[in-house]
Structure 1
Amino acid sequence: MKKFFTVLGGMGSLATESYVHLLNERTPTEKDQDYLDYILVNHSTVPDRTAHILDHSKPSFLPPLVEDIKQQSLLKPEFMVLICNTAHYYYKELQAATDIPLIHMPHMAISVMKKKYPKAKRIGLIATKGTIADHIYENEIKDAGFEYSLGDQAVQDQVESLIYDDIKIKGKVDANKYYDILQTMHDKFDCDVIVLGCTELSLAQEKAPDHPYNVIDGQGIIVDKSIEFAKKIRRGEKIDFTKIY
């Protein structure tokens, strides 16, 4: 297979399944051959990202992801996407392990947000404790020139419950809990736009999109960009991956 891309997933598997579902659903097709060519690496045994970020004595997720990237690089994909926001904690180290472009999902998400909501005053960020602790999205939002809010401990507890108790453990999305989180960030913390800084939250958005709030879904955005890049590559167009953000 030539002119394909690699999806580094499995963190978690339901979020990765959501990415693949949206990828296939949003790709314009009339026949089998219109779908995109890609390899999915569903590496579900990668150590917990948040646990390591909060306590470096816990197993690191960097070595297995570097191994995945090196293995895939031998196959020469055109680009790679990493379907886990929290894993971008080691983005520089992961990109340094290959010459293949690795799309930076948080940077891409905030780049799109800045264009879509240029007049937003305050951005809400909901994510795992690991993503909050590593400041990836926080720094991206500040660098884009926006004020931001992380909510409070009550919001964080709800977010963690939705991600871990409902999605990762039960395999279900609690739509009412998701809506409550968005409403609180909007009403109590005056957030014009809410960034979904976890792919499990992206799954919640896919399964429960019927709400009035402005959200930036990093996984949904990387789906659209994957399609855009893959279609250009199939047509033989050259992409300068240093200028995609």
Structure 2
Amino acid sequence: MENFFTILGGMGTLATESFVHVLNERTPIRSDQDYLNYLLVNHATVPDRTDFILGKSTENPSSELKKDLRQYTKLQPDFFVLTCNTAHHFFDELQEVTNIPILHMPRLAAEVTSQKFGKKTGKTRVGLLATEGTIKTKVYENELNKFDHLDVVLPDTNLQQEVTNLIYRDVKESHFCNEELYYQILQKMTEEYDCDVMVLGCTELSLVQEATQNEKYPVVDAQSELANETLRLALKNRK
């Protein structure tokens, strides 16, 4: 197979399924042959990224991801797609083990946030919704703070717990897209935290966004932007 890319997924599996669905849905097609060539790696047994970052586990997920990258680099894909936001904490060390470029989801989301929601005067208040692990690593903060006109707003402990419940208790454990809780979180970020836009920095949140088709509250869905960039590059690389 030529002109293909490799998706490193399974973190979690439902979110990976959502990414592939969005990617296929957005691909312009007239026949089966118009779909993109890609290899999907659903590595569901990669240790939990947040647990490791928060010190709740000694199992380092980057070790497994490095093995994947070394294994699939041998096939020489055009690029890698890493569908887990929290795993981007290990991005630099992952990129070091392969000469194949890895798309950087938080960076893409930050660029889109700046382009679409940056104000001509004053700062845009950007609410960040993600796992505790992603918040702690500052992988999104660092990318968003590269733009002087963006102010990153983080949930307090109580609201972060609601976000965590939505991600882990509802989506990961129960396969439940809790629409009511999702809208409550977005409403609080908009009205109580005075946010102009929310960045969805977790693929489980992207899954809920896709399911609800929320248009009431302004969001930048990192997984959606990753799908857009994947599609752009894949079509560009076609012969």
Q: With the length of structure 2 as denominator, give the TM-score of the two structures.
A: 0.96
- Name 1:48's counterpart in structure 2: 48
Summarize the alignment of residues 152-163 of structure 1 with structure 2, pairs less than 5 Å apart.
152-163=156-167
Stretches of 4+ aligned residues off by more than 4 angstroms: none
C-alpha distance 202-57 of structure 1, shift in aligned 2 (>3 A): closer
SS in 2 for 1:103: coil
Query: How many residues were matched structurally?
Result: 235
Shift of 1:116: 1.0
- Name 2:114's counterpart in structure 1: 114
- Name 2:21's counterpart in structure 1: 21
Per-residue CA deviation, residues 171-194 of structure 1 (Å, 9 max, x unaligned), is 120001100000000000010010
- Name 2:81's counterpart in structure 1: 81
Per-residue CA deviation, residues 91-115 of structure 1 (Å, 9 max, x unaligned), is 0000000000001110111011111
Task: Answer yes or no: is the 8 Å Cα contact 1:179–1:211 preserved in 2.
Answer: no
- Name 2:32's counterpart in structure 1: 32
Task: Answer yes or no: is the 8 Å Cα contact 2:171–2:177 preserved in 1.
Answer: yes
- Name 1:7's counterpart in structure 2: 7
C-alpha distance 230-170 of structure 1, shift in aligned 2 (>3 A): same
- Name 1:220's counterpart in structure 2: 224
- Name 1:194's counterpart in structure 2: 198
- Name 1:207's counterpart in structure 2: 211
Task: Please provide the CA RMSD for this pair.
Answer: 1.0
Shift of 1:210: 2.9
Task: Answer yes or no: is the 8 Å Cα contact 1:106–1:136 preserved in 2.
Answer: yes
Shift of 1:144: 1.5
- Name 2:137's counterpart in structure 1: 134
- Name 1:124's counterpart in structure 2: 127
Q: With the length of structure 1 as denominator, give the TM-score of the two structures.
A: 0.94
Q: Distance in 1 between matches of 2:233 and 2:152?
A: 30
Q: Distance in 1 between matches of 2:208 and 2:56?
A: 29
1:168 and 2:172 are equivalent in the alignment: yes
Which deviates more from structure 2 when the two are superposed, residues 118-127 or residues 215-224? 118-127
Q: Distance in 2 between matches of 1:183 and 1:211?
A: 12
Which deviates more from structure 2 when the two are superposed, residues 213-222 or residues 48-57? 48-57
Q: Distance in 1 between matches of 2:57 and 2:157?
A: 25
- Percentage identity across aligned positions? 49
Q: Distance in 2 between matches of 1:123 and 1:204?
A: 19
